[in-house]
Structure 1
Amino acid sequence: MAVVMTVMLFSRNVGSENWPEPPWSPPVDPPTLVFRRVDLQRIWNWEVTSGHYPSRRSIPKQIGLTNPPQNPALPIKPRKTTPSRYRPPPNVITIDADTDTLGVGPKRVYLDIQSASPNVAYPPRPVPGSVADMDIIMDNCDFSTGKYVRDCLEILRLGGGLDNGQRTRRGKMDHWKYIYMELNNETTSVSETSEENVVQPNPIRRPIEEIVTQEDPDAGLQRKRGEEWETPLKLPPALTHTPSASLPEPCDPENPRTFHMFWTGPFTDKPYLALLSFLFTQNTGIHLEDWPADAKVCRPQFWLWINPGPAASIPNPNALTDMFRGLAESPWASPFLHPRFKDVIKFKLWNTTEQLDGIPEIKDEWRALQDSLFNSGGHVISVKHQQEEESASGNDTTTSTKKDDDDMLNRLGSKSSSEYDRLSVILSDMARFVLCHRFGGIYLDADTIFLRDWEELWGWKGAFAYRWSRLEKYNTAVLRMNKNSALGSFLFRTALKNGLDFHPMTVSRYMADAHLEGLLLRLPDALFDSAWLNTEYFQRDRPPQPYLTEFSEFFDTPAQSSAAPQALGFTGFFRGAYSYHFHNFWWKPFDPSRNFPDLGPKFIAGERIARASLEGKNVSLSSAVAETSEPAAQNPEADRAETEEEDDVDEDKRDLDWSTVLKRTFESYIRGERPNMYGEWIEW
């Protein structure tokens, strides 16, 4: 074979223009773009002018901006004089190169955040109004440039003051300071913002004669096949970027601090732990008797959106009443209906029709796609087609008294890896963009646990998601977008022309085809998903702590390393990361030996319901409350003792898993047995 191939190779005319094409080439995704270059320029200009691009990274040359936009989210940079020998001749203009934005914003002061003696047992809360410099984070954490998750987490710890009293590094750390404050606008003089004092971009240049010969203003852009160019977007006036120090109130109305989460099916320990971690880490004020009227902190809220039935079902007119009744009767949900949490935790009813009608960009057109609404990466699950098949086979409600709960259309929640609620997952892919575009804020998947205060992430006003492990694609398990933004308008119009497909891989194509990736920053997964690279066999030579080789090890920590959860506790779990994404596993309990809400005497009724359910008993909330004797109700300690007599520590699992340690840590804070991660005790 080798001899034959050698003879064939030398018998060819290597210089011939008839050299055959290679028999195989990698598959290329079809283009998704439906907007012209002038529209893409308008989107970039709107976002930059609105203060949604606090970055010194350049605008891609494919956008073709000839006039660099002024960037109010960047400080002014002193002018650098270009030597005359590098200046272009008069007949040459700047074009066809990456474009730098012109900083015209307030100055930045980078913070050295450390615990002050003697209060070094817990880290300090972030400074209100502080901002994370994502350029510095990308420089130190980007997997594409060979940065390790372990090193990234150390910088996040040191720069955020989470190494309280335990700093072992010595030396100057200015290049690790990634949190800054913007000074008041009044500190910037008019002369400082003049064009003479601003750094001018220095892109590659080419002669003007070469430019004017281009007749196609959209040259180089790949339009979606079979689609015409979209009509120009109707964009509102650009927003005014206002530093936190200049706001009349601590909350910016254009930047609401709302966390969104989407849930379908019975309320379980998964949203329960997400809510507990929110209370344990965020500055909700539940450590204060009353939220002060003159507070300097913008108080965050958590909106949990409940889809009341199977994703493909028609909404029940009594859905809202049924939702709150179900929450009140659920041992996992009822604690969060307590008046103490009413200002920070809100339960919202999800209605797909109502939500899509609330998006101006698609409200008049989305119904044409309602039969193929469940589109994931181009794979469409036709609900109407399946319902017609069931009707033809006699399996619909007219001929059957009971639907098959395991059928994909009727599935409500994921009970195992084989019984996965795929429709709800597809619906949540779209829901996150709907919620962020309509209301603003940050969306998180329900398999997310907060690990620190997000103050400085709120301060950074750009949009972001995070990286899909080793791939330069988006994972939208965490998604930040501004309300009614130009970027949001682009995404919904583009998705409409591509079957309303919001799968993260498809969204990655939307952004790449339009050269808008800079407007939806792809943050390193170290910030939100620190174990992901290790689970895919990357960076195992220098893993972070803990070292999880599979996501399941969060729930079933191997015996060799299962001493770490109990010995290190919460502070030893990816310290520095903002959250942890455990990637599904809805069916695995966080705490198998105590698989019930363990929140103490205030919520003992719900605990009794959950305990009875584990024993196969059916106990209602009213009967559980009635079981609480009058003396015990007047004496919570007596009720506590009555419950604890049922348990024996020797019966507990010997090696506690990471999921168990985190659950019990958050619960002990609610019980009032320990402070939160910042040393604050809950105030009832």
Structure 2
Amino acid sequence: MPGTSLPYSATYEKLHHPSPESWTKQIFVPIPGVNNRRLRLLVPNLPSWRRFHSKLPKPMGRKRTLLLICFACTVMIMTVMLFQRNVGTPEWPESWPPGDPPTLVFKREDLQRIWNWEILSGHYPSRRSIPRMIGFSSPPYNPALPPIKRVLPPSRYRPPPSVATPDTDTVGIGPKRAYLDIQSPPPNVAYPPRPVPGSVADMDVIMKHCDFSEHKYVRDCLEVLRLGGGLDNGQRTRRGNMDDWKYIYMEQGNATVEIPSTPPEEEQPSYPIRRPLPPAEDDTPHDPNAGLAKKRGVEWEPQIVLPSPLKHTPSAALPGPCDSNNPRVFHMFWTGPFTDKPYLAILSFLYTQNTGIHLEEWPSDSSACASELWIWQNIGPAAAAVNPNALTDMFEQLKINPWAAPFLHPRFHDVIKFKLWNTTEQLDGIPEIKDEWRILQDSLFNSGGYIISVKHDQESTANETSTKKADEDDILNRTGSSSASAYDRLSVILSDMARFVLCHRFGGIYLDADTIFLRDWEELWGWKGAFAYRWSRLEKYNTAVLRMNKNSALGSFLFRTALKNGLDFHPMTVSRYTADAHLEGLLLRLPDALFDSAWLNTEYYQRDRPPQPYFADFADFFDTPQLSSAAPQSLGFNGFFKGAYSYHFHNFWWKPFDPTRNWPDLGPRFSVGEKIARAALGGKNISLSEALDNSSDDILEESELEDYVEADKRDLDWSAVLKRTFESYIRGERPNMYGEWIRW
């Protein structure tokens, strides 16, 4: 009858009755002390064996059949015994499968110290568990998590001592969280509001809605990001209760979180720590690092020395709006002459971040912390030694470069800072490797194990270097990438290392120069953990965006590990470092929807529901297909991956953003650079002095000084629309994305 369940015996018979042709059958034996649970065993199905015997040739006889049955039973008994033995022993292989060799050089106790330091410093505001291979004997206190009531399961459901240690959850002792509904009250709904100063992004919520491994779509992720961040202000479509989409919170507390001196008794696990393991039957002690895949041919690192953990302080308890342990500094690295690529990255930074250029002066009582952008300039080839006059030369080149000169204006003095990159000085500034890195200086350019050798011959002269043919094969003397075939690979490899150096020395967030800011990063600053983002469909890192804390335990681990692995900082190699050490949770792999929303589509994923705009190839950003070329001008900046924090267009250094207006169009204040750039497009070179005394007006044709719409491209590409949008903000013709006008 409908609604009537079969009795237990009928269900058992239907599900577990062996087929007449089955060689084995299942029996279920009650487990003493555990109700409603049975142990499943496989035993020979005698009727099938009898039928098999009846079909055997007569010469085989009963004795041989009996031997086969005994042999099969013996094999089954040994299999069961082996399975039971494996349940009570570590699931750690003695030999490792073929593939990438291990990279680990730290013992388990050091990995525990690293985890503990980062957690106690407030760098792990997540409820994700710590891997069991770390082997914590008790869960650490977590000052960045609010406390929750933890209910221990009954003893019969806890892992027995013989079962492998499960993952460890941290114990929250931090301030409570208040999740925000970010909207501006009517009628001020034309622009989204700035994020609340001191707000924090809950990465657990973001991962819940955006993780590609959980089959989440980029399109759906961007909707959650823009609604939860208030970017749809005045344009919100009713969606019902969206509490589950709120991912930005404020910490409710005005005091530094203190760490208790003793672990909570109620949180003590009922299972023993894996370190050290119980001795075997032969009384031979087990290796306390058993199960960790140590790098072959090297010794374990000495015990890691770490400073005292930082104290996690909510924003409301800080003495000022800025946290000295969490500087608001974005880093970018650039080699060779400035072009329109770093130019647009800087413009997008000014258009989106809270820099204060919309104010006459920064208020002394402001609760917001202003952001800075540091441009690290390597003015020569990546492998060349630094000239003693390099700093002076750098600024001289910036002054005459039309793409860079506008940012030397006093208005941007406290916002945009140009800094000289010196590889030797920077590596000497890393305590973990300063005394050892020179051993590897001839193989310093190491990317994923591919090494470009650079000879450091003291007898070589500058003349010998200058006579080298600077063609497509002369990779040592390139300063920038002029085409896909003339790619400056050395600078790319150097930048792989530079981002980790800069974040470890100075703190902050590193971004590749082929990045465009799309919104304020306030709540990302509030989340104090380290992060990069996912390499498209692969569970690997892309470090085009990298956040690390200054002088952190994670940074110490990475540099010591990289030193023993050839100073290789390719993102795929870094993925191996953290995976081998079970530290991936400390360098969170965020979904690429946040910073690289087109990547999955360009690799043929999620094309059934792509985000807006839909790029089948990264080149579509520069050459938008005709079928969708109405979107850039119709939708503008607000229609470009709205909700994402940035967009990564993946190189294309040689492709201009705006071919028909390939010059810095920033208005009369910066007309000198515009004249120089426009003259260069016409094949004419004018000096800075000529541009300053207006003699260029006689050099340039009237058609080169005047703009005619007939000469412009009819359907503008996305790259051109974004460039012209950012430039109009600097000219004072429109506000930024938050409705703020620049003040000169």
Same fold per TM (> 0.5)?
Answer: yes
| TM-score normalised to structure 1 length | 0.90
Q: Report the CA distance between 1:202 and its aligned residue.
A: 7.0
1:347 pairs with 2:418? yes
Structure 2 match to 1:33: 104
Q: How does 1:198-209 map to 2 (within 5 A)?
A: 200=267
Post-superposition CA distance 1:465-510 (Å, at most 9, x none): 0000000000000000000000000000000000000000000000
Structure 1 match to 2:349: 278
Structure 1 match to 2:130: 59
Aligned residue identity for 2:409: H
SS class of match (2:144): strand
SS class of match (2:672): helix
Q: How does 1:148-227 map to 2 (within 5 A)?
A: 148-186=217-255, 195=264, 200=267, 211=278, 213=280, 215-227=286-298
Residue of structure 1 aligned with 2:733, choices 658, 670, 673: 673
Q: Following the alignment from structure 2 to structure 1, what is the Cα–Cα distance between the partners of residues 115 and 578?
A: 12
SS class of match (1:128): coil
The verdict on how the C-alpha distance between 1:189 and 1:302 changes in structure 2, with shifts beyond 3 A counting, is: closer
1:465 pairs with 2:532? yes
1:404 pairs with 2:432? no
Residue of structure 1 aligned with 2:594, choices 508, 516, 527: 527
User: Does the 8 A contact of 2:686 with 2:696 survive in 1?
Assistant: no
Q: Following the alignment from structure 1 to structure 2, what is the Cα–Cα distance between the partners of residues 203 and 603?
A: 70
Q: Following the alignment from structure 2 to structure 1, what is the Cα–Cα distance between the partners of residues 384 and 720?
A: 35
Post-superposition CA distance 1:371-397 (Å, at most 9, x none): 000000001100119x89x98xxx983
Residue of structure 1 aligned with 2:610, choices 543, 567, 572: 543
Q: Following the alignment from structure 2 to structure 1, what is the Cα–Cα distance between the partners of residues 155 and 551?
A: 45
The verdict on how the C-alpha distance between 1:291 and 1:405 changes in structure 2, with shifts beyond 3 A counting, is: farther
Q: Following the alignment from structure 2 to structure 1, what is the Cα–Cα distance between the partners of residues 576 and 293?
A: 12
Structure 2 match to 1:501: 568
1:603 pairs with 2:674? no
SS class of match (1:589): coil
Structure 2 match to 1:655: 715
1:619 pairs with 2:689? no
Residue of structure 2 aligned with 1:99, choices 151, 168, 171: 168
Structure 2 match to 1:437: 504
Q: Following the alignment from structure 2 to structure 1, what is the Cα–Cα distance between the partners of residues 462 and 263?
A: 71
1:384 pairs with 2:450? no
Q: Following the alignment from structure 1 to structure 2, what is the Cα–Cα distance between the partners of residues 306 and 276?
A: 17
- Larger mean CA deviation between 474-483 and 179-188 belongs to 179-188
User: Does the 8 A contact of 1:444 with 1:478 survive in 2?
Assistant: yes
Structure 2 match to 1:309: 380
Q: Following the alignment from structure 1 to structure 2, what is the Cα–Cα distance between the partners of residues 237 and 154?
A: 41
Q: Report the CA distance between 1:246 and its aligned residue.
A: 0.6
Q: Following the alignment from structure 1 to structure 2, what is the Cα–Cα distance between the partners of residues 207 and 225?
A: 23
The verdict on how the C-alpha distance between 1:228 and 1:210 changes in structure 2, with shifts beyond 3 A counting, is: closer
SS class of match (1:362): coil
Q: Following the alignment from structure 1 to structure 2, what is the Cα–Cα distance between the partners of residues 398 and 581?
A: 39
- Listed as ranges, the gaps of 5+ residues in structure 1 are 1-12, 18-24, 631-641
Structure 1 match to 2:148: 77
Q: Report the CA distance between 1:73 and its aligned residue.
A: 0.3
Post-superposition CA distance 1:119-151 (Å, at most 9, x none): 111000000000000000001000001000000
User: Does the 8 A contact of 1:51 with 1:461 survive in 2?
Assistant: yes
Q: How does 1:552-571 map to 2 (within 5 A)?
A: 552-571=619-638
SS class of match (1:73): coil
Q: Report the CA distance between 1:415 and its aligned residue.
A: 0.1
Residue of structure 1 aligned with 2:190, choices 121, 125, 133: 121
Post-superposition CA distance 1:633-671 (Å, at most 9, x none): xxxxxxxxx999611012100010000000000000000
Q: Report the CA distance between 1:195 and its aligned residue.
A: 3.7
- Listed as ranges, the gaps of 5+ residues in structure 2 are 1-67, 77-95
- Larger mean CA deviation between 203-212 and 487-496 belongs to 203-212
User: Does the 8 A contact of 1:397 with 1:403 survive in 2?
Assistant: no
Q: Following the alignment from structure 2 to structure 1, what is the Cα–Cα distance between the partners of residues 258 and 371?
A: 34
The verdict on how the C-alpha distance between 1:284 and 1:189 changes in structure 2, with shifts beyond 3 A counting, is: closer
User: Does the 8 A contact of 2:277 with 2:287 survive in 1?
Assistant: no
User: Does the 8 A contact of 2:335 with 2:491 survive in 1?
Assistant: yes
Q: Report the CA distance between 1:83 and its aligned residue.
A: 3.8
The verdict on how the C-alpha distance between 1:445 and 1:398 changes in structure 2, with shifts beyond 3 A counting, is: closer
Q: Following the alignment from structure 1 to structure 2, what is the Cα–Cα distance between the partners of residues 227 and 458?
A: 38
Aligned residue identity for 2:202: D
SS class of match (1:360): coil
Aligned residue identity for 2:616: T
Q: Following the alignment from structure 1 to structure 2, what is the Cα–Cα distance between the partners of residues 466 and 301?
A: 22
1:228 pairs with 2:299? yes
Structure 1 match to 2:557: 490
Q: Following the alignment from structure 2 to structure 1, what is the Cα–Cα distance between the partners of residues 541 and 216?
A: 18
SS class of match (1:383): coil
SS class of match (2:593): helix
Structure 2 match to 1:9: none
1:326 pairs with 2:397? yes
User: Does the 8 A contact of 1:93 with 1:207 survive in 2?
Assistant: no
SS class of match (2:417): strand
User: Does the 8 A contact of 2:329 with 2:509 survive in 1?
Assistant: yes
Q: Report the CA distance between 1:82 and its aligned residue.
A: 3.5
Q: Following the alignment from structure 1 to structure 2, what is the Cα–Cα distance between the partners of residues 111 and 165?
A: 17
Structure 2 match to 1:298: 369
Q: Following the alignment from structure 1 to structure 2, what is the Cα–Cα distance between the partners of residues 72 and 224?
A: 34
Aligned residue identity for 1:486: A
Q: Following the alignment from structure 1 to structure 2, what is the Cα–Cα distance between the partners of residues 316 and 584?
A: 28
Q: Following the alignment from structure 2 to structure 1, what is the Cα–Cα distance between the partners of residues 259 and 481?
A: 59
Q: Following the alignment from structure 2 to structure 1, what is the Cα–Cα distance between the partners of residues 416 and 684?
A: 30
SS class of match (2:476): coil
The verdict on how the C-alpha distance between 1:188 and 1:482 changes in structure 2, with shifts beyond 3 A counting, is: closer
Q: Following the alignment from structure 1 to structure 2, what is the Cα–Cα distance between the partners of residues 187 and 397?
A: 60
Aligned residue identity for 1:419: A
Post-superposition CA distance 1:422-476 (Å, at most 9, x none): 0000000000000000000000000000000000000000000000000000000
CA RMSD of aligned residues (A): 2.8
Q: Following the alignment from structure 1 to structure 2, what is the Cα–Cα distance between the partners of residues 153 and 496?
A: 39
Post-superposition CA distance 1:99-133 (Å, at most 9, x none): 00110100000000112101111000000000000
SS class of match (2:334): strand
Structure 2 match to 1:111: 180
| TM-score normalised to structure 2 length | 0.83
Count of aligned residue pairs for this structure pair: 644
The verdict on how the C-alpha distance between 1:654 and 1:231 changes in structure 2, with shifts beyond 3 A counting, is: same
Q: Report the CA distance between 1:209 and its aligned residue.
A: 12
Structure 1 match to 2:213: 144
Q: Following the alignment from structure 1 to structure 2, what is the Cα–Cα distance between the partners of residues 82 and 209?
A: 26
Query: Which one has a bigger Cα radius of gyration?
Result: 2
User: Does the 8 A contact of 1:66 with 1:94 survive in 2?
Assistant: no
SS class of match (1:464): strand
SS class of match (2:145): strand
SS class of match (1:560): helix
The verdict on how the C-alpha distance between 1:226 and 1:209 changes in structure 2, with shifts beyond 3 A counting, is: closer
1:363 pairs with 2:423? no
SS class of match (1:473): strand
SS class of match (1:175): helix
